[in-house]
Structure 1
Amino acid sequence: MPGKAVSDPKLGKKYKYDKDHRPMLTHPSDGEAWKDFDRKYSEKAAEPRNVRVAIATDGFNPFGMTSAPYSCWPVFVIPLNLPPGMIMQRKYMFLALIIPKPEYLGKNINVYMQPLMEDLKRGWEEGIMVYDKATKTNFRMHIWFQFSIHDHPGGSILSSKGLQGKFMCPHCGTDLEFYRLAHDHKYCCFDLHRRFLPPNPPFRQDKKNFRKGVVVEEGPPRYRTGSELLAELDALVQDPTQPDNFLGYGDTHNWTHKSCFWELPYFKGIILPHCIDVMHTEKNVAGALYNTILNIIDKTKDNPKTRKDQEELCDRPQLSIKKVPGRSDIRPKAPFSLDRNQKMEVLLWFKELKFPDGYAANLKRGVNLGTMRINGLKSHDYHIWLERFLPVMVRGYVSEDFLRVLAELRNFFRQLCAKELSPTLLEKMEKQAPVLLCKLERIFPPGMFVTMQHLIIHLPYEARMWGPVQHRWMYAVERLMKTLRAKANNDVSMSSQLRQIANDFDVKVGSFKSYDVNGYRFHTTGYELSRPNRTSTNSRVFVECGGDDFYRRVEEIYELQYRKPKPPKVVVFKCRWIDPKHVNKDDTIGLVEVKRDSVFECEDVYIVAQQATQVYFFPYPCTKVARLQGLDVMYHVQPHGKLPEPNDQDYLPQREPGDKFFQEAGGDTSDFVVRYTDSPGTEVDNDGEGDKVDGDGDDDDEEHANVDSDVESDLDAGLLVDPDDEDYNPHAHT
């Protein structure tokens, strides 16, 4: 039954079904790779107490970025036999190895990993006799490896593949050959994604909007099995002139060495043992778009070199550099980039943005109006920018067709990063990802499309294999490495105790300025107005009533007092609501707009705190479009550290044919749809005559993120503090 939660009697796990009666993916065990392993090794998989682990690693400088070069590689072992909300918690991530190495680790990792490999081989073959406290019996527990977590360079080391040069994709390998740009001097994958399309779409025959005169007939590379990869690796011959290398490296293959993971007897039976890191992929994709749209001089992908490459490869004469005798060359403005006045308007908009505590970093601290850029953006900042701000930031400055392409990219990553995934939706995203990349290729220049942009093709497949990305991306690993770096000065603070309230009901009530409930922190409007320099906002609230959505600020917070041995805590919010008639949901680009000054006149102004869901509003930066004035864009905030709980709407016995299935609870309310005809200012022209497109692109260095609202719950642990108040007490009466 669609939406029905069904319990597994063996594991005590609840399965929630999508509209096509297929179980939702909420855990790695829901993925096809886990189930395939269970079928191949059914005897060991039949014992639910056997432990499956993931191995995570990354290199960092323990002495800081400004000190002498040094590379330290911690290796973590992460048990996967835990509920979704516990897998990536710090207390369940075990430090197995620390590999100190002044220089790049490379293939030497095999030597350092041998103790861990020996333990894994013993755990698989012999097992370990342990005591089960629940049954009060001993049993032999087996342990095995399932997948690795790493960034792109780390994946190159662990998988023993050189992911640079012309074979840069860990999945496509030698079946997809990148080519070097003549002027930008880097390998790119521009116009290599049409081969991933079905046989007959119009993009395959388009000779104008991709590479000039090129028609694509070949099909996509296929995913190879572990046995095929092992056979290819065993067939390689050592280079007699360079004993550490194989003959043909860089020309016919990209194997650098034989990884120690092949020593595990079951390794060749694992589908997808090395996963792409969604955190760094999303950061680099977003960073390239951000720097290009805002035309950051030294980072934009729409630079003179890429314009020259674009002129040679593409039929886009309107964007070619124009030679003027006696003057500097003129580079025409691309339709996807903002001019100086628009950039200033956007930066001033960033300086006014406020978010709930723990949701995002304080971006306005990095805004520099003199250099017209935002400094210090990290991976999570780009995560928030791409999935929340991108279509809002550019709306009114670019064409609606271009806006829809960016909205499709934004929706793609929002659907992919949801905590509950529909297998039907993932299969749909696999088919639509190459269409989305082709539409981006018709807009941006060849220099935009490097490794990270290509990896978008494979992300839905990996989610289908191993479930939600929250159990495979690097946010938790990066934060744990930050803890290791500062271990000597690690301060531990205890959360405050709840105040015992009076027995029995009292006519007096407790009044709060701030309150933590439902995984959120709420502030009253008066409290925030009394602090004009606050860097966050926590006063917006959402509640659904009678089929209508109500949004507004929290005016007051009251706690009713009872006189009982165990007094119940009843907290109510007093709110003034926006008229639901002035709430506009635009499903085509996935935005919810509310009229800022609208007021819903009613007497029912109180809600129980447990009904409240936190949201935040922000205006459009564009001041030129009249219809955008007075409107705020609304986004829901996910509660800290827990999955969205099922509600009555999830258990409806059936859905009407026209209903939409929303992937992220309380989040994006738009279907992920990529249409071939929605390309900004372009048309398919097989004869070489038609319209033009724009250009831009490149990737960025990978940065570490220290904040993530979707993965870890410091709020629930009582460790999240108000950044503006050293004496902040969320339960202090006023």
Structure 2
Amino acid sequence: MRWHHDHVYDGETMTHPSDSPAWRNFTETHPHFASEIRNVRLALSADGFQPFGQTGQQYSSWPVIMTPYNLPSWMCMKDEYMFLTVLAPGPKNPKDKLDVFLQPLIAELQSLWVDGTVTYDVHSRTNITLRAALMWTISYFPAYAMLSGWSTAGKQACPHCMSDSEAFTLPHSRKTCWFGNHRKFLPVEHPLRHSRNLFRRGRTVSHTARPTRSGFELLDELDSYGFLPSYEVDTEEHNKELSKLLAGGWRKRSIFWELPYWSSNMVRHNLDVMHIDKNVFDNIFNTLMNVPEKTKDNAKSRADLCRNVHKTRVAFRYWQRLISKGNIFPRKRRKTSSLKMVERYTLSVFKVVGRSIGASKSRHLQNNEYHAVATYMLLNCAETRSFVQMYENHLRSSVPGIYNADVDAQLQQHFFQWFKNYETLNQDFNISPDIKQLALGPQFKVKCLRGYCVNGFKFHTKEDSTHKATDNSGVHVRGVAGDGTSTNYYGIIDEILEVKYAGNSQSKTVLFKCTWFDTHPRLGTRVHPKYKIVEINRKRSLRYYDPFVFCTQASQVVYLAYPSTKKIISDWVYVGGLKKREYIQQIRSDTDQVDGNVANEAFQNHESQSHGLETQLLLNTQNLVYVTVMYDNDIDVGTQNSDTDDVQAFTDESSNNQSEDSE
């Protein structure tokens, strides 16, 4: 709350409202309020919206939001520091009656200015009398009339010129136009003041714009006219008659004039530039592109141009030529060098696809994570498979009769260090520089992502899915061990990491850090003997540490618990596969052959044989409707059916529930 006072203004770039002249004027005008730098300075913004959308029922609601400007510029406009103080209901636009809903807010602002409120300062551990003041309002142009009381329609719509406006009505289209009205703000000697061809035909400007009127002058004018606040009873007709009689822009006496300091504010109302920029851009773009029913180029507008503007035919011919050639937004030609560009060699593990979701944060890898990432990248890189084979041959020649499981363990524990210290790494010129960078290991600093879209799925971490109605953290990977056998691995995404390597900016990849469930056929994974439904014991996980997998190798699954309190059932969850987005998946028959390509499958240590099945789960909002099972014909399902231990592991309750759900 002290930042606005401690912030130093460089005198050139305005980075915070405290750098503005209006802020400094308020400080000089009210020194008693400014003496306590913790006093709150507020801004009020109002806008209408359709809660049912553009195609639904017409219903206009108007929220009023307050924002404290004591905070830094990167905090004061965040959602958590914007307070919804008033919500004017519909179904119609409140217009001048918005002051009725603002009465409690204005009364509280008056109390906070005069009396304040006793507040405990945690930083200084003292009680202070905290006061608050409203600096200005923020709105788009139509809402400006609702807050200020000055009409934004007609020839006097400009809140600066007011009755000094030089707007005129176009004779053919009957629209109000301010073309050339801005020339009075130019210096007296400026040549554009005397131009008769560039603006309205045959007209020059010699007078200057009147000075900006203060709040005291405007309030005296309102009181002299006799306008009343719109929240009082039977004031609407009174204000309308006064507005017609005076032929001015005032429509009411705004409720903000009841604030004791409002008249002394240098700036009382601000316009939202976003709405103005959008409306101006839409009109210009639709006219240039000749969008049907949205273009402003018609017979009446051309007739008005020919009457008021010089050389209109030349201008229209110029735009017509640009539109016909498609050169409305010409691109500058880049200078190309005569030198031949050398194609940058990129490893297969650095081909990042997909996109991240939400904000990210950085952290550093721990030693075990660093070793696991470096090893996983080397074992799954297509360009380093020859070195993996070289290391395996070295192990088998050194230890004759070594088991495949021991070879896999040695690869996980020592291959990264062996490859890093490989004696020919810096001598063999056939080795790519990218492989040398891969041998040095990744950077310790990684980027943690909240979610990631890849392979037609939207993945989220378990932490990010905790407070959501849907859970997108389930993941399935088909792993390939060193002996060539494949295994289905099911897990939960703990983190989504973007890992970078030294070198060019393309040397990076996205990994899922997962907690993998146990793949043991009796203790961790089981298959229903009849319906081939996969179940996972969520209480058991893999014994070894190998948590990482490429995002491109993962598919999404969902884990559904059974409605039972028995431990033999409650520990087990059903694994359901999900369909990819924007794809229509065809269910294969038993006679179809399965693609045996394992080039893009993940390298994982194995403890059990693959069950070779995938499930597709179709759900409605209430009940489980339909379950289909797809078989991989290259797996001997009959052998699994004869396993009596798997059959006995299923209780009658779970079997009956699954049978009813499948039917």
What does residue 312 of structure 1 align with?
Answer: 307
Query: Do the aligned partners of residues 305 and 504 (structure 1) sit closer, same or farther apart at CA in structure 2, a change above 3 Å counting?
Result: closer
User: What pairs with 1:327-476 in structure 2 (closer than 5 Å)?
Assistant: 333-337=316-320, 341-343=324-326, 393-394=329-330
1:285 alignment partner, one of 269, 280, 296: 280
The Cα of 1:14 is off from its aligned counterpart by: 4.7
What does residue 185 of structure 1 align with?
Answer: 174
The Cα of 1:46 is off from its aligned counterpart by: 1.6
- Partner Cα distance (1:511, 1:84) in 2: 43
What does residue 589 of structure 1 align with?
Answer: none
The Cα of 1:511 is off from its aligned counterpart by: 9.3
The Cα of 1:193 is off from its aligned counterpart by: 1.6
- Partner Cα distance (1:185, 1:559) in 2: 75
Query: Do the aligned partners of residues 508 and 497 (structure 1) sit closer, same or farther apart at CA in structure 2, a change above 3 Å counting?
Result: closer
Q: Does 1:139 align with 2:144?
A: no
- Partner Cα distance (2:245, 2:322) in 1: 42
What does residue 115 of structure 2 align with?
Answer: 126
Contact 1:511 1:558 in 2 (8 A): no
- Partner Cα distance (1:12, 1:558) in 2: 51
Per the alignment, in what secondary structure is the counterpart of residue 185 of structure 1? Answer: coil
Contact 1:166 1:178 in 2 (8 A): yes
- Partner Cα distance (1:724, 1:299) in 2: 35
- Partner Cα distance (2:375, 2:211) in 1: 64
1:269 alignment partner, one of 261, 264, 268: 264
- Quick one: which amino acid aligns to residue 266 of structure 1? Y
What does residue 340 of structure 2 align with?
Answer: none
The Cα of 1:289 is off from its aligned counterpart by: 2.1
Per the alignment, in what secondary structure is the counterpart of residue 142 of structure 2? Answer: helix
What does residue 252 of structure 2 align with?
Answer: 257
Contact 1:167 1:254 in 2 (8 A): yes
Q: Which has the larger radius of gyration?
A: 2
- Partner Cα distance (1:279, 1:559) in 2: 51
- Quick one: which amino acid aligns to residue 296 of structure 2? K
Contact 1:183 1:308 in 2 (8 A): yes
The Cα of 1:63 is off from its aligned counterpart by: 1.8
Per the alignment, in what secondary structure is the counterpart of residue 138 of structure 1? Answer: strand
- Quick one: which amino acid aligns to residue 137 of structure 1? T
Whose RCO is larger (CA < 8 A, sep 6+)? 1
Per the alignment, in what secondary structure is the counterpart of residue 275 of structure 2? Answer: helix
Give a deviation string over 1:663-697, Cα, whole Å, max 9, x none. xxxxxxxxxxxxxxxxxxxxxxxxxxxxxxxxxxx
2:197 alignment partner, one of 208, 212, 216: 208
Contact 2:149 2:250 in 1 (8 A): yes
Q: Higher strand fraction: Structure 1 or Structure 2?
A: 2
Query: Do the aligned partners of residues 337 and 231 (structure 1) sit closer, same or farther apart at CA in structure 2, a change above 3 Å counting?
Result: farther
Give a deviation string over 1:120-174, Cα, whole Å, max 9, x none. 0000000010101111110100011011111111111001111101111122211
Query: Do the aligned partners of residues 201 and 510 (structure 1) sit closer, same or farther apart at CA in structure 2, a change above 3 Å counting?
Result: farther
Query: Do the aligned partners of residues 560 and 262 (structure 1) sit closer, same or farther apart at CA in structure 2, a change above 3 Å counting?
Result: farther
- Partner Cα distance (2:192, 2:438) in 1: 60
What does residue 8 of structure 2 align with?
Answer: 15
What does residue 621 of structure 2 align with?
Answer: none
Give a deviation string over 1:102-130, Cα, whole Å, max 9, x none. 22212111111100001100000000101
- Partner Cα distance (2:504, 2:143) in 1: 53
The Cα of 1:342 is off from its aligned counterpart by: 3.4
Give a deviation string over 1:567-602, Cα, whole Å, max 9, x none. 95279xxxxxxxxxxxxxxxxxxxxxxxxxxxxxxx
Per the alignment, in what secondary structure is the counterpart of residue 336 of structure 1? Answer: helix
The Cα of 1:308 is off from its aligned counterpart by: 0.2
Question: What is the total number of aligned residue pairs between the two structures?
Answer: 374
1:502 alignment partner, one of 361, 364, 367: 367
The Cα of 1:28 is off from its aligned counterpart by: 0.5
Contact 1:174 1:252 in 2 (8 A): no
Per the alignment, in what secondary structure is the counterpart of residue 74 of structure 1? Answer: strand
What root-mean-square deviation, in Å, do the aligned CA atoms of Structure 1 and Structure 2 show? 4.0
Per the alignment, in what secondary structure is the counterpart of residue 119 of structure 2? Answer: strand
- Quick one: which amino acid aligns to residue 445 of structure 2? K
Q: Does 1:53 align with 2:46?
A: no
- Quick one: which amino acid aligns to residue 8 of structure 2? Y
What does residue 565 of structure 2 align with?
Answer: none
- Partner Cα distance (2:376, 2:28) in 1: 58
What does residue 104 of structure 2 align with?
Answer: 115
Query: Do the aligned partners of residues 42 and 313 (structure 1) sit closer, same or farther apart at CA in structure 2, a change above 3 Å counting?
Result: same
- Partner Cα distance (2:37, 2:119) in 1: 14
Query: Do the aligned partners of residues 210 and 177 (structure 1) sit closer, same or farther apart at CA in structure 2, a change above 3 Å counting?
Result: closer
Per the alignment, in what secondary structure is the counterpart of residue 109 of structure 2? Answer: helix
Contact 1:15 1:23 in 2 (8 A): no
Give a deviation string over 1:176-201, Cα, whole Å, max 9, x none. 13211111111110121211111112
**Identical residues among aligned pairs (%):** 32
Query: Do the aligned partners of residues 156 and 317 (structure 1) sit closer, same or farther apart at CA in structure 2, a change above 3 Å counting?
Result: closer
Query: Do the aligned partners of residues 139 and 504 (structure 1) sit closer, same or farther apart at CA in structure 2, a change above 3 Å counting?
Result: same
The Cα of 1:267 is off from its aligned counterpart by: 0.3
Per the alignment, in what secondary structure is the counterpart of residue 287 of structure 2? Answer: helix
- Quick one: which amino acid aligns to residue 318 of structure 2? P
What does residue 161 of structure 1 align with?
Answer: 150
Structure 1 gaps, min length 5: 1-7, 320-331, 347-390, 398-491, 513-554, 572-603, 611-722, 727-732
1:233 alignment partner, one of 190, 198, 222: 222
The Cα of 1:256 is off from its aligned counterpart by: 0.5
- Partner Cα distance (2:438, 2:16) in 1: 38
Query: Do the aligned partners of residues 248 and 505 (structure 1) sit closer, same or farther apart at CA in structure 2, a change above 3 Å counting?
Result: closer
Per the alignment, in what secondary structure is the counterpart of residue 101 of structure 1? Answer: coil
- Quick one: which amino acid aligns to residue 38 of structure 2? R
- Partner Cα distance (1:501, 1:133) in 2: 36
The Cα of 1:233 is off from its aligned counterpart by: 0.9
Query: Do the aligned partners of residues 265 and 227 (structure 1) sit closer, same or farther apart at CA in structure 2, a change above 3 Å counting?
Result: same
- Quick one: which amino acid aligns to residue 502 of structure 1? N
Give a deviation string over 1:337-381, Cα, whole Å, max 9, x none. 5656534xx7xxxxxxxxxxxxxxxxxxxxxxxxxxxxxxxxxxx
Q: Does 1:78 align with 2:67?
A: yes
Per the alignment, in what secondary structure is the counterpart of residue 235 of structure 1? Answer: helix
Q: Does 1:569 align with 2:462?
A: no
User: What pairs with 1:516-595 in structure 2 (closer than 5 Å)?
Assistant: 568-569=444-445
Per the alignment, in what secondary structure is the counterpart of residue 86 of structure 2? Answer: strand
Q: Does 1:296 align with 2:291?
A: yes
Give a deviation string over 1:615-653, Cα, whole Å, max 9, x none. xxxxxxxxxxxxxxxxxxxxxxxxxxxxxxxxxxxxxxx
What does residue 92 of structure 2 align with?
Answer: 103
Contact 1:172 1:222 in 2 (8 A): no
What does residue 245 of structure 1 align with?
Answer: 240
- Partner Cα distance (1:147, 1:23) in 2: 23
Give a deviation string over 1:297-316, Cα, whole Å, max 9, x none. 43233322111001111232
- Partner Cα distance (1:48, 1:275) in 2: 24
Query: Do the aligned partners of residues 105 and 11 (structure 1) sit closer, same or farther apart at CA in structure 2, a change above 3 Å counting?
Result: closer
- Partner Cα distance (2:439, 2:80) in 1: 34
Contact 1:511 1:559 in 2 (8 A): no
Structure 2 gaps, min length 5: 229-234, 334-356, 378-433, 448-501, 509-579, 584-601, 604-663
Per the alignment, in what secondary structure is the counterpart of residue 242 of structure 2? Answer: coil
What does residue 30 of structure 1 align with?
Answer: 19
Per the alignment, in what secondary structure is the counterpart of residue 71 of structure 1? Answer: coil
- Quick one: which amino acid aligns to residue 172 of structure 1? C
- Partner Cα distance (2:581, 2:221) in 1: 58
Q: Report the TM-score, using the length of structure 1 for normalisation.
A: 0.46
The Cα of 1:243 is off from its aligned counterpart by: 1.6
